[in-house]
Amino acid sequence: MATVSTKTGQEVDRLTLDSMLRRRMFYTPSFEIYGGVSGLYDYGPPGTALIANMTDAWRKHFVLEEDMLEVDCTMLTPHEILKTSGHVDKFADWMCKDPKTGEIFRADHLVEEVLENRLKGDKEARGQKVEVDAEKEAKKKKKSKAAQAVKLDDALVKEYEETLAKIDNFDGPDLEEIIKKYNIRNPATDGEVQPPVAFNLMFQTSIGPSSNMPGYLRPETAQGQFLNFQKLLEYNQQAMPFASASIGKSFRNEISPPCWSVACA
């Protein structure tokens, strides 16, 4: 993770910065008085002003200076559209569950955490210096056991490193095989986890009072731009190339233990 620095180059502690931003109400956890929901945040007055300034600068550069065609499309999308695009079948992450605690994990992140923890313990056992991300380490301490200083076989270290380098390329069966092969367990309880299953990241809803038209909150803003391509081409008098731009919210039901979270972009 990149470090945060001041104009003079002085490094800023991420946890201190986060605390300051919340205290001054740049943003605050949503529904905090009811316990909150992981991943949901409200922007306060300074945060709202900052977003407005960023949006204004973005629009001036891309829409006005670069002459892009701006559109503002609906956030509701019928099932048929996202079925055709592949989102219904493939827009998913792989998750696994600890059957004893009920805790949910995103499978690739679980593999990453456990293997990185083991590699860290190997380096400590070898007397090597271990680089520590303060923010990441603080989060781990809340839910994971400390890395044990255990020296690993050189070949196993190489396997772990190769697995981590390719982690984004693995699907469910691949992750299941890795979890079994390396005995990946719940970092906090050391309990076994169930095989990964696909979890679609879109929020499903129904359009209209009859509930006969299933739909979703859009997972990305670009969908409306693709669907309006022909009309934008006609608006641009059939001239190519051209570019379109869109500002708005998209919704994803992210896997974030110990509860679900929402990513709104």
Question: What are the residue boundaries of the structural domains of the chain, listed by start?
Answer: 4-77+202-264, 107-192
Q: Is the pLDDT of residue 98 over 60?
A: yes
Find the mean pLDDT for residues 246-260.
Answer: 75
Query: Between 208 and 265, whose confidence is greater?
Result: 208
Once rounded to an integer, what is the mean pLDDT over residues 238-253? Answer: 93
201-219: average pLDDT? 92
pLDDT at position 233 is 97
CATH classification (class only), 4-77+202-264: alpha beta
Among 3-12, 23-32, 101-110, 174-183, the least confident range: 3-12
pLDDT of residue 38: 80
Average pLDDT, the chain: 87
Query: Residue 212: its pLDDT value, please?
Result: 86
pLDDT, position 185: 94
- Coil vs helix vs strand at 6: coil
CA torsion sign for 102, 99, 141, 110 is negative
Percentage of the chain exceeding pLDDT 70: 87
pLDDT of 263 over the 50 cut: no
Identity at 225, one-letter amino acid code: Q
Going by pLDDT thresholds of 50, 70 and 90, the confidence category of residue 88 is very high
Mean pLDDT of 27-55: 93
Residues 6 or more apart from 256 whose CB is under 8 A from it?
A: 38, 39, 106
| DSSP-assigned letters across all residues of 7-41 | TT--EE-HHHHHHHHHHTTSEEETTGGGT--TT-E
Residue 265: predicted pLDDT: 43
